[in-house]
Amino acid sequence: MLLIHVPRLTNRLGYTLNVIFRYILKTEFEITTDVDLYTGFDGPKMCYGRHKIGEGLFVRCSDLLFQTTIEEQQPRCFKYEDTYALFPVYNSESDFPFDIFASAFFCLSRYEEYLPHFTDTHGRFPASESLAYKEGFLQMAVVDRWALMLAGKLKSCYQDIKVPARNFDFEDTIDIDAAYCYRNKGILRTLTGMGRDLLSHDRKGAMRKRMRVLTRKEEDPFDTFDYIIDLHRQYSGMRLKFFPLMADYNVYDKPISYQNKEFCELLKHLCDNAKMGLHSSYASFDEPELVGIESERLASVLHRKTVRNRNHFLRLTLPKTYNVLIDNGILHDYTMGYADEAGFRSGTGTAYPFFDLESDCEKPLTIHPFAAMDSTFYYYKKSTPDEAEAVFRQLVDEVKLVGGTLSLLWHNQSLCEDFGWQGWRKVYEHVLDYADKAHKSK
């Protein structure tokens, strides 16, 4: 058991210590403000504060974790060993030249997203606004790296402290914006699609393709689900999750109707082979009541409570979006990542609890960050499949280095090999294989 002395226990400090030691390092600890108890303790111990007390590890604090309000921060960034660090401290007795815990809290809480910032056309906090992007460490799992640094220092001081080794894990997630390209879209949408076919550069080819799918002579190109499931059966260590859109049709939400029988049967089939979550609609960002409606639609199809979510277009504003999810019984969210860049939006590949800065407390929602999305490379970065694969592999290597969980985001339609997605199936297959090898070599 590790004993940690702090001058004063706050919600922020308790939360950060819990995430670092229990969620990341899987190490039990106790907190005390009693100086006599701390100095008399002869086991592994650490002091966090302005001044070192007795023996043991010492981490000099900054002010962040002892504040209770949202204030402008100056988390000066600098290179330290093989990573980056924030909130430098100047104390010769400190075992680190920066406040590890304030740095971790700044990243995990997404503190900068509560401060004034620009948003993109979809109301999102863009990667380019983040400190990690500006300083060049977005593709480093810095919180996990800091936690491992701390563990290494503790183990060098206390040979008998128990800090379990972290092992690489992999999670594959699939968003279903539209389960089918041609089928089950209703008469009006089908006729509209035919009109687009007639205006395309390959009129006969486009119309022929559509008609062959509609007459069941050819598989719908977006129906890649059996391919995904069959591929996953080769990799027993990987977790698979699907997030279907259950929205009403509008400009940005164009799903198959939640009342369509074939679509409902597909969802039941997917539920038999993977975990399921809601892909809450673009519209729900501005109309929060839709989250509950769409969640009930999914629950009624699958006959089980909806507890997972990822927002369509990755629309997320803190803390509003997460509080809406909590109010609707969602326990796990998978939206934490950027649309325009690959990397670690909250500095970690480890799932962790949500801390609401406005109410200054932890809330009952687990955040599952993802590191990269197929659409980021295709639409935003204009990357070739080979260029995207190289980044995916780099992210696998990074998460394996820290023994975290790598979560990636794909779409069923990006694996169809049509509409400009030629070559992306190979990327998907290669990345799964590379991640599986990393998992087996842990």
Interacting residues of 439 by C-beta distance below 8 A, sequence separation 6+: 168, 169, 170, 235, 237, 238
- pLDDT, tens digit, for every residue of 3-22? 999 999 999 999 999 999 99
Please compute Rg for the chain using Cα positions.
24
- Burial of residue 36 (CB within 10 Å: 0-12, 13-18, 19+) is exposed
Q: What is the DSSP string of 365-396?
A: EEE----EEHHIIIIIS---HHHHHHHHHHHH
Give the C-alpha separation, 103 to 126, whole Å: 20
User: Given a cut of 80, is residue 326 above it in pLDDT?
Assistant: yes
For residue 58, the Cα-to-chain-centroid distance in whole angstroms is 32
Give pLDDT, residue 187.
85
Q: Which residue has the higher pLDDT, 353 or 214?
A: 353
User: Given a cut of 90, is residue 190 above it in pLDDT?
Assistant: no
Q: Which two tokens stand for residue 309?
A: 């979510």
Q: Is the dihedral of CA 43, 94, 167, 175 positive or negative?
A: positive
Residues 373/375/379/381 CA torsion (nearest 10 deg):
20
Give the C-alpha separation, 431 to 429, whole Å: 6
**β-pair type (352-356, 332-333):** unpaired
Give the C-alpha separation, 245 to 110, whole Å: 26
Give pLDDT, residue 228.
97
Q: How many residues can be counted in the chain?
A: 442
Give pLDDT, residue 237.
76
Give all strands of the β-sheet with 308-311 in edge-to-edge order: 278-280, 308-311, 332-333, 361-367, 352-356
Across 248-273, average pLDDT: 96
Q: Which stretch of 70-84, 207-221, 280-294, 389-403 has the lowest confidence by average pLDDT?
A: 207-221
Give pLDDT, residue 251.
94
**β-pair type (275-276, 78-80):** unpaired
Give the C-alpha separation, 362 to 364, whole Å: 7
Across 134-163, average pLDDT: 95
Provide the whole-model pTM: 0.95
CA atoms within 13 A on the CB side of 23: 22
Local confidence band at 28 (pLDDT 50, 70, 90 cut-offs): very high
Coil, helix or strand for 80? strand
Domains of the chain: 2-157 (no CATH), 169-181+220-440 (3.20.20.370)
Cβ atoms of residues 369 and 336 within 8 Å? yes
Give the C-alpha separation, 366 to 322, whole Å: 10
Give pLDDT, residue 442.
59
| Per-residue burial over 291-320, b = 16 or more CB atoms within 10 Å of its CB, e = otherwise | bbbbbbbbbebbeeebbbbbbbbbbbbbbe
Outline where 283-384 has alpha helix (H): 289-302, 320-327, 374-375
The mean pLDDT value of the chain amounts to 95
User: Given a cut of 90, is residue 188 above it in pLDDT?
Assistant: no
Across 18-29, average pLDDT: 97
Q: Which residue has the higher pLDDT, 188 or 379?
A: 379
User: Given a cut of 70, is residue 204 above it in pLDDT?
Assistant: no
| Per-residue burial over 77-113, b = 16 or more CB atoms within 10 Å of its CB, e = otherwise | beebeebbbbbbbeeeebbbebbbbbbbbbbbbbbbb
User: Given a cut of 90, is residue 440 above it in pLDDT?
Assistant: no
CA atoms within 13 A on the CB side of 94: 17
- pLDDT, tens digit, for every residue of 329-347? 999 999 999 999 999 999 9
User: Given a cut of 90, is residue 74 above it in pLDDT?
Assistant: no
Give pLDDT, residue 202.
74
Q: Which two tokens stand for residue 301?
A: 């199809």
Q: Which stretch of 23-27, 39-43, 210-214, 346-350 has the lowest confidence by average pLDDT?
A: 210-214
Q: In the chain, pLDDT over 90 holds for what percent of residues?
A: 88
Across 342-354, average pLDDT: 98
Local confidence band at 192 (pLDDT 50, 70, 90 cut-offs): confident
Across 364-391, average pLDDT: 98
Across 129-135, average pLDDT: 97
Q: What is the DSSP string of 90-124?
A: --TT-SSSB-HHHHHHHHHTTGGGTSS----TTS-
Cβ atoms of residues 90 and 62 within 8 Å? no
Peptide bond into 44 cis (omega under 30): no
Give the C-alpha separation, 101 to 64, whole Å: 9
